[in-house]
Amino acid sequence: MVWVLNFINRFKDPELCRNILEKIRNEATTPFRFMEVCGTHTVAIFQSGIKTLLPENISHISGPGCPVCVTHDREVAAFLALAEQGVHLATFGDLMRVPGPDGRSLKSVQADGGKIRVVYSPFDALQLAQDNPGEKIVFLGVGFETTAPTVAATLKVAGEQGVKNFFVLSMHKLVPPALQSLAMERDIKVDGLLLPGHVSTIIGVQPYSFLASDYGMPAAVTGFEPLDILQSILILLHQKKYGRASIVNNYKRVVADQGNPRALAVMKEVFIPVDAKWRGLGNIPGSGLSLREEFSEFDAWKVFDPKTEDVQAPPGCRCGQVLKGQILPDECPLFRIKCTPASPVGPCMVSTEGSCAAFFKYSV
């Protein structure tokens, strides 16, 4: 117990954290299982050791919150095919080591001479296209509602400036349809959700309302400090204990209930929701974003038509089950043995926000 108290002393507001933890301990008289669906929460929870501080009755698992991890094998195979065909790709760094079905990655293609540039924003990719008018540059659009508005704004600028050699391979995913898919799965028992802080700054609170109204599932929009997370767990615990279900905005210092209307507007102007395949969750209606017809000249899926036939996950990888909270990372037979951050077999070990990588780094 002494080490636990010393541990909490490293949190911001340690006294408040201690009080909330005490309340959770006192009130946790029935077993409940909560889930976070945000990669940044995954890391914050592992990093802060919150799981080890919770009473036995409260278990907390990670869900499909890491955008790189949920990117489907078919999409990975498609961008690797583009890279191998010599198409010049621009990507965020965390996609570089994602293994394809045959073990190849963007990094290995790059080592063999493939033209792949790591960028920090889609605007950097647009700049790359403008600096290299003789090249076709494809930006790999991976991410949730947090990333999609910036990609949309970049496409609008590309259109306004008449850029003809910039394209986006949109693999963006939308969080609420995935939560609905999780809520509908009978074999995943989750009593409440910590909702993603970043995504919620864009979409607000209303898009989650179906969780409470249709599935009786409480949920709390949550920030990233240990205090935010503990508060939200207490909120979920209270709601379950007293038979209530509502969506609580517990991150009001950042998240407006109505979200960010300007970001939503630009996203809607450029993208249209389409069905999309998620690793682990399968095909989810209306959970992806495709470029609207008006922007089709920038649509790398249409312009380059990369290979999209169904492909298998890396052999032995159980990322799909990890992403659904069906198993913990160390229940995968490859964890720590064949699969490590230095030599990842699946994407959940590649991304810093992946459950397997966080479990590897922070669990003892």
Helix (H, G, I), strand (E, B) or coil at 239: helix
Strand stretches in the chain, DSSP E: 32-36, 58-62, 88-91, 116-118, 137-141, 166-170, 192-195, 219-221, 247-249, 271-278, 282-291
Separation between Cα atoms, residue 6 and residue 21, nearest integer Å: 14
- Per CB under 6 A, the list member of 76, 335, 353, 358 interacting with ligand SF4 is 335
- What is the CA angle 128-134-159, rounded to 5? 60
Region 289-318 residues binding ligand SF4, contact defined as CB under 6 A: 317-318
Quote the least distance from Cβ 145 to ligand SF4, whole Å.
25
Quote the least distance from Cβ 53 to ligand SF4, whole Å.
24
User: 208 and 176 in contact (C-beta within 8 Å)?
Assistant: yes
Q: Which stretch binds ligand SF4 (CB under 6 A): 57-65, 241-249, 273-281, 330-338?
A: 330-338
Region 235-254 residues binding ligand SF4, contact defined as CB under 6 A: none
323 binds ligand SF4 (CB under 6 A): no
345 binds ligand SF4 (CB under 6 A): yes
- Per CB under 6 A, the list member of 190, 205, 266, 322 interacting with ligand SF4 is 322
98 binds ligand SF4 (CB under 6 A): no
Quote the least distance from Cβ 335 to ligand SF4, whole Å.
4
User: 228 and 250 in contact (C-beta within 8 Å)?
Assistant: yes
Q: Which stretch binds ligand SF4 (CB under 6 A): 51-59, 226-234, 296-304, 344-352?
A: 344-352
Q: What is the 3-state secondary structure (H, E, C) of 17-33?
A: HHHHHHHHHHHCCCCEE
Q: Which residue in this structure is represented by tokens 């380059």?
A: 304
Nearest of 361, 355, 341, 278 to residue 98 by alpha carbon: 341
Q: Which stretch binds ligand SF4 (CB under 6 A): 40-48, 230-238, 265-273, 327-335?
A: 327-335
349 binds ligand SF4 (CB under 6 A): yes
What are the percentages of helix, strand and coil residues in the chain, rounded to 5?
A: 45, 15, 35
Region 127-186 residues binding ligand SF4, contact defined as CB under 6 A: none
Residue nearest to ligand SF4 (CB): 346
281 binds ligand SF4 (CB under 6 A): no
Q: Which DSSP string corresponds to 163-184? A: --SEEEEE--B-HHHHHHHHHH
8 binds ligand SF4 (CB under 6 A): no
List interacting residues with ligand SF4 (CB under 6 A): 317-319, 322, 329, 332, 334-335, 339, 345-346, 348-349, 356
